[in-house]
Structure 1
Amino acid sequence: MSKRPLSFGTWPSPITATDVARHEGAPNWPVALGEEVWWAEPRPSESGRVALCRTRLDDPGRGTETVLPAPWNARSRVHEYGGRAYALLSGTAGAAVVFSEFSDQRLYVLDPGARGAPAPLTPRPDTPSALRYVEPVISPEGDHVLCIREEHTDDTEAGVRRAIVAVPLDGSAATDPAAISVVAVDHHFLACPRISSDGRHLSWIGWDHPNMPWDSTHLRVAELRDGRATGTRTVAGGTDEAVVQAEWADATTLYCVTDPDGWWTPHRITLDVDGALAGGPDSLVGDRAEEFGGPLWQLGACWMAPVPDGRIATVHGTSATRIGLLRPDTGELADVDTPHTEWAGKLTLAGADGGTLIGLAAAPDRPAALVAVDLRDGSWRELAGGAEADAAHGSTVPFAAYLPRPEARVFTGVQGREVHANHYPPLHPEATGPAGEAAPYVVWVHGGPTSRTPMVYDQEIAYFTSRGIGVVEVNYGGSTGFGRAYRERLRGSWGVVDVEDSVSVAQGLVAEGLADPARLAIRGGSAGGFTSAAALAFSDVFRCAAIQYPIVDLAGWRTGETHDFESQYPESIVGPWPSAKDVYARNSPVDHAEDITAPFVLLQGLEDEICPPVQCERFLSRIRGVPHAYLTFEGEQHGFRREETIRTAIEAELSLYAQVFEFETDVPRVELRP
């Protein structure tokens, strides 16, 4: 069938903003207990809450079950980004669950077999959400849950304290705070508490300001004696080395993912019976130039899982990731054969013998799915999400025909440096652009900025490409996935390198004749919103921008306008405060707002503690005569979770492009006013 030539942006697409919003609810954070597999599932249609669901490996016909009903919301606010907010234990009929409830941040226990409501395990603080819990681990005895507790006493750095605590599972601490015991107080930030197989030792990861967990962390080991950590020592990590995960294989073997050689790779640490360092850290894969770990934006990430047969299941790769089975004694790494091209750092083991690996995986033509891999024979199946996700969300559209065919690209940037990107050309089964005409393109900039955008099935991208608008995601210098040297390109240069790399990718597509230089846009959220705003202020390449919950004032962000976790992040990627105050002003969009001439839409959640609305308001007060729209959303924090918000945001973005690039669209018109 020949394709009809139609103006870019006007191609008729069946993918609606509602489809995009509903598809945001992919499975997340798998946890297993025997044959039961649980996961967290965002529900945009249920006010953005996070439900808990489960299935059984030994009963495929049973299907999936939502265990945690509305309005319960299993989500932690530790670091504001949270992480794994629940753990499983034996209940009266199958697994029970301990989880952090978003509304008050208390821990609750729910035993589905008992058919009761969730019961609180922790006390109600005097100030709402002042006590927060994340990354729970059930004690070997099964009578306590260990987790990281974050305590807020005031709005200063000194007013935020963290500790590893033990909470009794009998509910006594719900009314008696003294029943909670403090197991360890160490660095300002804590992650990854793990108990050795014999219950004698506890390990965790710690770091302090101004470091971020991808800069410098310490892996700590202590003896557990009478419920307290004693004799704490550092066994890995340090200056310019970041341990991001550690797991016990047995009583004296501790595996960790760390980067002394510039790449996150698995290492082995051997302890003596008293917990003293006896050997290591020794690399298990030599000098492989690929990542086996990632940035600890959320607590509870798991890129490797020691298997009972002695192997280690591990996520690894660079611009794409896969699952490998590593033999620690030989370094042999054999990949599991599945069609998935991107595996998240969220692994767990299931089955009576721990012989089934559960992970989250996707591909450009496969939605994110919960995947079970039989480690005996390599067979696999999808348990939730995946190919049937669209039908489950109420859609009957054959999306496959409208999905772009992406490719990983490397562009040449300023000073000849490599810039990694994911290229999604416009694609439609029945339409094409006018002969000899290049397409409009949008550069997508990920958040972080120390992060990476994977090349996977994404209905939001398809929403635009199926209408004739190209998308290119830039993993600019500073991104993870390409080694420490690549991610440290951003040191002292945030607002410079990221903007330069975004411009270089856009100009590279123009030079190839793919993108129209008069119809280039940029969009991003959080740190991506910062880069998008900076690109309008510091370049003339982009004709418009969609800016979501951004940082726009670096000085304000460094001096109290964000949460504790990132409050000193600019020390490395901008410069030391206040001696580098001029750099903060030079690189901040808010200080150059009068230089912006391109239209934009600005979208902001009103409950955002990470990038608060005050930054947007200050930025807008300095904009002069530029058509723009400012849309705010009640009940939204950092990142949009509610179906109606996601739908409004994506339609506003398309309306912006239609007005600036002069094509017709049927979405509600967003009013752009000076």
Structure 2
Amino acid sequence: MTQPNRKQAAPCGTWTSPISAAVVAAGATPLSQVALDGADVLWLAGRASEAGRTTLQRWRAGETTDTAAELTPAPFNVRTRVHEYGGGAYAVDKGTVWFSHFADNHLYQAEAGGEPVMITKEEAVRYADFVPDRARNRLVAVREDHLAGEAYPVNTICAVGFDGSETILVDGNDFYAAPRLSPDGRQLAWLCWDHPRMPWQGTELWVADILEDGTLVDGRLIAGGMDESICQPEWSPGGLLHFVSDRSGWWNLYRFEDGLVHPLCPREAEFGGPHWSFGGSMYGFRSSEEIICTYIEDGVSRLGRLSTHGCTLTPIATPYEEIRELRVSPQAVAVLAGSPTIAVELALIDPESGKRTILVQSSANLPHVDYLSVPRSIRYRSANGRTAYAFHYAPANKDFEPQPGELPPLIVIGHGGPTSMATSTLKLATQFWTSRGYAVLDVNYGGSTGFGRAYRDLLKGQWGVIDVEDCVAGARYLAEQGLADPERLLIRGSSAGGLTTLCALTFHDVFKAGASYYGVSDLAGLDADSHKFESHYNDYLIAPKPAAEQIYRERSPIHHTDALKRPMIFFQGLDDKVVPPQQSETMVDALRRRGVPVAYMTLEGEGHGFRKADSVVRTLEAELAFYLRVFGIPAPQGLPSVEIENLVQ
């Protein structure tokens, strides 16, 4: 018997949802940087309620899944700012942990059950991606020296003795990453690259022998160069060096043996990712003969077992569509992963049976599935016949449906990076919108990772063009399909996605309003204020200087505010060192003077990305109130108002 339709017809955007801004802020615990110590599992967990503090957790094998112990109680904040994006903020070995404390950038050592003890002495020096060298009583780490008095810090690879002494092991390059000791402790591998390249353009993999006194000798180039990106070098238990290279056009696995580089599993899939932060891992060794790996095909992650010599890849079934991190030891396989109905979680996987044991979830109390929108992966034609990719989320709420004949408003998201990618993992921040009657299109525009180097390089010299065209084409495609209201198309983005948002609203007439989170508005200003890691990024994205001056001006929305007539809301952390507040403030002032409807919210104590629960709540509610006012829809009771200058209704 057919059940009666109990849904209430109501204007899209006004639906009542249990996914409040407070639920978004409190319900997701950021999880990152998984590590294994034998069969024990460690990870970092964010504490939004503690001003975004990050703490180190440990679960011991054999215990119940709810017995994780905090190893770094307040005020310790396990983060590093090397390259500004950090990562690789701790290491563990046989119960001892070493970590970077964000407040002072010093390294601390903590024995099992003991209080952390500071071991470094230098001020204004940062460390990341460190590995224990027990035989020599030291850590080998990437070092970033801000004391030298140079315009930019000096990066090296150093040895930090457990007594606090320091020795520079490798220098001369602009950037270093992934120092990795061979199992016998006699060799060190590392990655390096120089300006103007970013690590996903060209890196080098080097190996050197370690002398008895701990210094290096006989350094030799193994792979890489100006147009080959290498990532995640790892030694097998038998002492063979493995790494990921995109020399075939895809980030695939390789082994270095007898002076030659051997491909392990040629495939049109990505076994690596862009080096934005330290310590990423997409494969590891169960033994010298078996690798457990994750790889991305068509934007979706898969898990597999790979024979190191037979080159046979056997899939391992999991419910996940995104695997952010994978850690492997002979005793355990751990993944940080999610899917459209699973928020990011940390789980142990049995490679033989595929059985998973969930250790911790980023969102323990998820809304009922009937309030969740499950995205579908779409591809569509963009400018000049290109194919673009995206995830489309239809509005979903078990209590409401659109009014007869109503099409939902659409929010198009341009991801940050821009050398990054959108994934389909459950995000309450997206469901906040879909459960209120908005459709969402999360775009993997040309330049996104996960689709091979040729797709990634589409953005070369075309930032602010290709990304914008693909967002515009996606909005038009859904409107033509009858899946979105062409008169209520919105666009939002953060960081690089903020530039995409501003360019779409400035140079195209498809979108009716937009939201920029710490977005780029002035490319020349971005260069002037940029930190070392990204100081030449625009050489790739726009054009090498000084030839880029005219193109910078053509692409920068700040120079074309006369063409931007759509309402905008800006959100900016006042401590942002990646995209400084001036980028937002200059744009807001220009729109204010021109009489364009504009709202601006600043957040003290926030940097590039908002970590505090209060910040998440304030920005989401303000953005919702902004859209409702722009479209003339009455705001629901209890929603804080937002001041919009120049808005006449």
TM-score of the two chains, using structure 1 as the length reference: 0.92
Q: 1:88 is paired with a residue of what secondary structure?
A: strand
- Consecutive unaligned residues of structure 2, counting only runs of 5 or more, are none
Match of 2:201 in 1: 215
1:35 equivalent to 2:39? Answer yes
Match of 1:242 in 2: 229
Match of 1:191 in 2: 177
Q: 1:123 aligns with which of 105, 121, 127?
A: 121
Q: Deviations over 1:319-361 (max 9, x none)?
A: 11011111121221112112111101x22234xxx23111101
Q: 2:113 is paired with a residue of what secondary structure?
A: helix
**TM-fit CA distance, 1:633:** 0.7
Query: Identity over the aligned pairs, expressed in percent?
Result: 38
What do you get for the CA RMSD once the two structures are aligned? 1.5
1:163 equivalent to 2:139? Answer no
* Aligned partner letter, 1:645: S
* Aligned partner letter, 1:671: E
Cα distance in 1 for partners of 2:386, 2:399 equals 38
**TM-fit CA distance, 1:434:** 1.2
Cα distance in 1 for partners of 2:493, 2:535 equals 21
Q: How does 1:398-409 map to 2 (within 5 A)?
A: 398-409=367-378
1:555 equivalent to 2:542? Answer no
Q: 1:279 aligns with which of 233, 242, 260?
A: 260
* Aligned partner letter, 2:386: R
**TM-fit CA distance, 1:483:** 0.5
Match of 1:63 in 2: 67
Q: Deviations over 1:116-153 (max 9, x none)?
A: 3x21111141xxxx210111101142721111011113
1:149 equivalent to 2:143? Answer yes
Cα distance in 1 for partners of 2:51, 2:389 equals 36
Greater displacement, 564-573 / 220-229: 220-229
1:259 equivalent to 2:240? Answer no
Q: 1:390 aligns with which of 340, 352, 364?
A: 364
Cα distance in 1 for partners of 2:388, 2:460 equals 16
Match of 1:593 in 2: 561
Greater displacement, 76-85 / 376-385: 376-385
Q: 2:301 aligns with which of 321, 336, 339?
A: 321
Is this contact kept in 2: 1:355–1:375, CA < 8 A? no
Q: How does 1:41-440 map to 2 (within 5 A)?
A: 41-60=45-64, 63-90=67-94, 95-114=95-114, 116=115, 118-125=116-123, 130-141=124-135, 143-153=137-147, 156-157=150-151, 159-169=152-162, 172-173=163-164, 179-225=165-211, 226-250=213-237, 252-271=239-258, 278-280=259-261, 282-286=262-266, 288-308=267-287, 310-318=289-297, 319-344=299-324, 346-350=325-329, 354-385=330-361, 389-391=363-365, 398-440=367-409
**TM-fit CA distance, 1:590:** 1.1
Q: 2:552 aligns with which of 584, 587, 590?
A: 584
Is this contact kept in 2: 1:15–1:399, CA < 8 A? no
Q: Deviations over 1:513-559 (max 9, x none)?
A: 1111110110010000111111111111111111001111111112x
* Aligned partner letter, 2:403: P
**TM-fit CA distance, 1:252:** 4.4
**TM-fit CA distance, 1:242:** 0.1
Cα distance in 2 for partners of 1:355, 1:375 equals 11
Cα distance in 2 for partners of 1:199, 1:383 equals 32
* Aligned partner letter, 2:26: R
Q: How many residues align?
A: 636
1:453 equivalent to 2:433? Answer no
Match of 1:176 in 2: none
Match of 2:453 in 1: 484
Cα distance in 2 for partners of 1:620, 1:369 equals 39
Cα distance in 2 for partners of 1:18, 1:327 equals 47
Q: How does 1:417-566 map to 2 (within 5 A)?
A: 417-558=386-527, 560-566=528-534
Is this contact kept in 2: 1:254–1:268, CA < 8 A? yes
**TM-fit CA distance, 1:400:** 2.0
TM-score of the two chains, using structure 2 as the length reference: 0.96
Cα distance in 2 for partners of 1:16, 1:513 equals 28
Cα distance in 1 for partners of 2:108, 2:556 equals 43
Cα distance in 1 for partners of 2:254, 2:288 equals 18
**TM-fit CA distance, 1:594:** 2.3
Cα distance in 1 for partners of 2:344, 2:136 equals 33
Q: Deviations over 1:432-487 (max 9, x none)?
A: 10122211000011100000011111101111100001111011001000011101
Q: Deviations over 1:66-87 (max 9, x none)?
A: 2211221000000110012001
Cα distance in 1 for partners of 2:338, 2:153 equals 37
Q: 2:475 is paired with a residue of what secondary structure?
A: helix
* Aligned partner letter, 1:506: A
1:640 equivalent to 2:610? Answer yes
